[in-house]
Amino acid sequence: MLDCAIVGMGNWGRKLVDSVQGRNGAGLRFVAGSTGTIEKARPYAAEKGITLHEGYEAVLADPRVQAVVLATPHAQHADQVVAAARAGKHVFVEKPFTLSRESAEAAVAACRAAGVVLALGHNRRFLPAVAKMKAMLEDGRLGTLLHVEGQFSGPGGFAYKPGAWRADRAESPLGGMGGMGIHMVDMIINLAGRFRDVRVVSHARVLPTIDDTTAMLATLESGATVSFATLAAAPRLWRVALYGTDGWAELHGHERLTFRPRDGEDQVTDFPPTDIERAELEAFAAAVAGGLAYPLPLEEAVHGVSVFETMIWAASSGSVCRVA
């Protein structure tokens, strides 16, 4: 059993804890934690059997803690990952991994030097429908990939109040990219490979805090094109589609996958719901225990940050920017 600390006990940190705490077979449990609003967290921590520490340093000094799960503001991730590695703790970090390619590479290097597992929380990689889409592309059913479309939007931006960390443009550059869109960037990398260049338009039409509309047109290293949008002030939508010479496949939501061959009718598959938070944490615990490697290569994690960073440059310059 992997004994973990949850760092950051807001809504998402609690969702991660709830996905595994007290469940047989999860392979990990939360024994400690820290958060910026510790008094608010005391009742929840007591309910879950979590010992609260006054700060991150105290978490890392706790000899019971073998791993940390970071659900903290984006800009804190890089330093927190490095500190955990130096303390010999395995690390599961929420997205975005970091906010710059340089800091992502430094975090990876620190974990490799310390011999600890580093896992990134792109939970949609654990959807059975995504595995099916990837297989369809790899086995040739779609033919040559021509284009990828993606959208991940939601109304969360309406709740961002001035002074809240997510309402800070330094923490949420390009609006919904940090909370939602970065998941779709990772999904495109997972399904179709690395990005070559990006063009981005991002602005606020209705929100007083962050950009509510961010759109990207990109080229992958394969030559396939990408169109993608993340809206922080619209009804929730998750959609990714692959368009090839022999067919297209579209995942609408997490469970409904539609395939259309060049000659034939739509084939619709409905997958059962999957607890993707539990799945990613179980995969992290298994990797720490010496099982299968966590199914998000660190090179792809760094590349996702590089795409995000390049999107910021592209939006500010209004030009096509090459991804490092």
Architecture of domain 2-122: 3-Layer(aba) Sandwich (3.40)
Six token digits for residue 279? 């799945």
Same fold, 2-122 and 124-322: no
Q: Would you state the pLDDT for residue 30? A: 98
pLDDT tens-digit map of 21-36: 998 888 999 999 999 9
65 touches 59 (CB < 8 A): yes
Q: Would you state the pLDDT for residue 112? A: 98
Q: Would you state the pLDDT for residue 171? A: 86
User: For 103-125, what is the mean pLDDT?
Assistant: 98
- Which CATH number is associated with domain 124-322? 3.30.360.10
In this prediction, residue 167 has a pLDDT band, given cuts at 50, 70 and 90, of confident
User: For 229-235, what is the mean pLDDT?
Assistant: 97
Domain ranges of the chain: 2-122, 124-322
In this prediction, residue 248 has a pLDDT band, given cuts at 50, 70 and 90, of very high
Q: Would you state the pLDDT for residue 170? A: 83
pLDDT tens-digit map of 168-214: 888 888 999 999 999 999 999 999 999 999 999 999 999 999 999 99
User: For 40-63, what is the mean pLDDT?
Assistant: 96
Output the pTM of the full model: 0.95
Mean pLDDT of the chain: 96
